[in-house]
Amino acid sequence: MALIKKLNDIEPKWGENCYFSENATVIGDVMMGDDCSVWFNSVIRGDVNYIKLGNKVNVQDGAVIHATYQTAPTNIGNNVSIGHNALVHGCTIHDNVLIGMGSIVMDNCVIESNSIIAAGAILTEGTHVESGSIYAGIPAKKIKEVSPELLDGQINRIANNYLKYSSWYKH
């Protein structure tokens, strides 16, 4: 059973058809929509500020979602994939976004819809990713536009696959 912990009288809340792996951790002021999945060794820690996730968000193995006390909550839209070992901290991520494996998204970043953050990219504080962009590197910079093929073949495919994968684990 996942560690789902109430903190300061605030209990995590989630919608229908969500999956939490046995060693996922979700603490405090966390709100999730429907069809979300929180995978092995991932942490969503709403202890110092709120964290909101929309519908069909997958938080893959080892990812960490946190916020900054009193200044930077974390807001994540719908149809978002947070890749393995990514760090998402005090930022806003709009709909239809892929956060690549091992990437870091720092405080006050805004990632607009239909965007991809490449594996290993580091978005420094306050970076603004325009809709339909791919950002890569350290520090991350725009490298190209998201094509319709990437939108379907990566962003939507991964989000849909994680909804399918989570169904395999529910018993």
pTM: 0.97
The mean pLDDT of the chain is 97
H/E segment holding residue 161? helix 157-169
Q: Bigger pLDDT: 79 or 171?
A: 79
pLDDT of the residue at 11: 98
CA 136 – CA 67 distance, rounded (Å): 23
Residue 4: per-residue pLDDT: 97
Given a cut of 90, whether residue 112 has pLDDT beyond it is: yes
**171 pLDDT more than 80:** no
Q: pLDDT band at 94, cuts 50/70/90?
A: very high
| Separation CA 127–CA 89 (nearest Å) | 12
- Looking at the predicted structure, is the pLDDT value of residue 161 above 90? yes
Beta bridge partners of 44: 26, 65
CATH class of 3-165: mainly beta
- Which pLDDT does position 22 carry in this prediction? 96
The pLDDT of residue 27 is above 90: yes
More confident residue, 37 or 170: 37
Residue 149 above 80 pLDDT?
yes
Render pLDDT for 121-148 as a digit per residue (tens, 0 to 9).
999 999 999 999 999 999 999 999 999 9
Q: Is the pLDDT of residue 59 over 80?
A: yes
Three-class DSSP category at 155: helix
So where are the chain's domains? 3-165
Integer Cα distance of 16 and 18 in angstroms = 6
**In this structure, are strands 25-32 and 3-5 parallel, antiparallel, or unpaired?**
parallel
